[in-house]
Amino acid sequence: MRIISKLFFVSNFVISKITRKQIWKKVRQKIGNIPHLSIDWDVLTDRFIEPVIWVVDHFADSLGKIFVSLVWLLIQFVVGVAYWIGLSFYWNISAELTIALVIFGHWILLNVVFHYYMALITPPGLPPEAEQIPHIKARCKKCQSVKPERTHHCSICRTCILRMDHHCPWLNNCVGHFNHRYFFLFMAYVVLGMIFLFIFGAPVIVHELSISDASEPIGYPVFHNGSHLLPVKQVEEVSPPRSRSLRRAVSVTVAILCAGILAALGALVGWHARLISRGETSIENLTNKDDREAKRLEGSTFVNPYDYGSYENWRIFLGLSEGRTWWCVFFPSVHPPRGDGISWCLKNDLTHVSYK
């Protein structure tokens, strides 16, 4: 009976709408209430974080270069498999369909490669010298540089970044004001490419897994002597072909890779799209979350001063100004984002200051 009651308690605990922070707080309180058990949570946290900080400080640059190399190798591997297995499959079905798929696929590939390369080489944006912006008095406590609005210090790059979103190890670079668009569009086109591969790659995988394996012959060779079929003794043993099994293994490997990439980047694209619609960066989302909670407890509503509405937020993020249209999103473009990343028009002043 006690076991059943405990299971009932656990099930209610799991399905309840308690946030992870509340759960962790309850766990800490329970442990802290245990007699003769005193835990200094600050010291315990430092013990866990110190090795992570040490690894980041000493190997972040090297790990970043390895991650960047893995991205390029992964792109080449997936494209190579598509040419090797997928192209011949669709060419045997329809030459017109194959040409259309090749054109559409290369449009996606062009955008993936372009936006990833530009996110790599484009500086995220550094604050200028204090003499150039004397009206800004704020200073960074870590690097002592001038600190405009929405600027944050990156402990890996060891400098402040204009409108910093986060440090991306897959870019070996910070994502900031001047390369945020490249980073987001790279992820978006990768997700589109994964969907494209799943739709048109599924028939290829089914075909590769369903056809008979030439490396597994059935029966044995015979010859007809005029009245009977007699077995033939093979003089030379020929090694069985392994092309079919290799194609199967590679097809399944690519499918698993694409599924993992689609799940991870799909969630990340959705998360960043939500932040862009709200006029926030990843860092600002964390700080604004605390401000929202504080305002809620006060009985008021938090207002993000950099939220101009979803449509305008996207236009600002994509740099659609000076006559630029949405075609700049569908094809590679090196146009800069709106603004200099230093001065920002607040929501209440948007009617007086034009971004166009």
Phi and psi torsions of 9, nearest 5°: -65, -45
With H, G, I as helix, E, B as strand and everything else as coil, classify residue 168: strand
Please give the full DSSP string across 113-164, using - where no structure is assigned. HHHHHHHHHS-------GGG-TT---B-TTT--B--TT-EEETTTTEEETT-
What are the sequence ranges of the domains in the chain? 41-214+243-354
Active site members: 168
CA dihedral of residues 86, 89, 93, 96 (deg, nearest 10) = 40
The tokens for 62 are 């090297």
Q: Is 68 exposed, middle or buried (0-12, 13-18, 19+ CB in 10 A)?
A: middle
How far apart (Å, rounded) are the C-alpha atoms in residues 31 and 57? Answer: 33
- Percentage of the chain beyond pLDDT 90 is 47
Of 335, 334, 332, 336, the C-alpha closest to 112 is 332
The DSSP element (H or E) to which 166 belongs, if any, is: strand 166-168
Choice between 356 and 326, residue whose per-residue pLDDT is larger: 326
Task: Say whether pLDDT at 11 is over 50.
Answer: no
How far apart (Å, rounded) are the C-alpha atoms in residues 226 and 217? Answer: 26
Q: Name the residue type at position 205.
A: I
Chain-centroid distance of CA 97 in Å reads 31
Q: What is the pLDDT of residue 286?
A: 86
End-to-end, the C-alpha distance of the chain in Å comes to 70
Assess contact for 268 and 187: CB atoms under 8 A: yes
Contacts of 137 (CB under 8 A, 6+ apart): none
Assess contact for 356 and 193: CB atoms under 8 A: no
pLDDT digits (tens, 9 = 90+) for 93-132: 999 999 999 999 999 999 999 999 999 999 999 999 888 8
Choice between 252 and 11, residue whose per-residue pLDDT is larger: 252
How far apart (Å, rounded) are the C-alpha atoms in residues 182 and 115? Answer: 5
Task: Say whether pLDDT at 46 is over 50.
Answer: yes
Choice between 221 and 37, residue whose per-residue pLDDT is larger: 221
> What mean pLDDT comes out for the span 83-97?
92
Query: Of 6-10, 23-27, 78-82, which range is least confident?
Result: 6-10
**DSSP state, 322?**
T
**DSSP state, 347?**
G
The tokens for 210 are 């369903």
With H, G, I as helix, E, B as strand and everything else as coil, classify residue 332: coil
Please give the full DSSP string across 52-89, using - where no structure is assigned. HHHHHHHHHHHHHHHHHHHHHHHHHHHHHHIIIIIIHH
pTM of the full structure: 0.76
Q: What is the pLDDT of residue 49?
A: 60
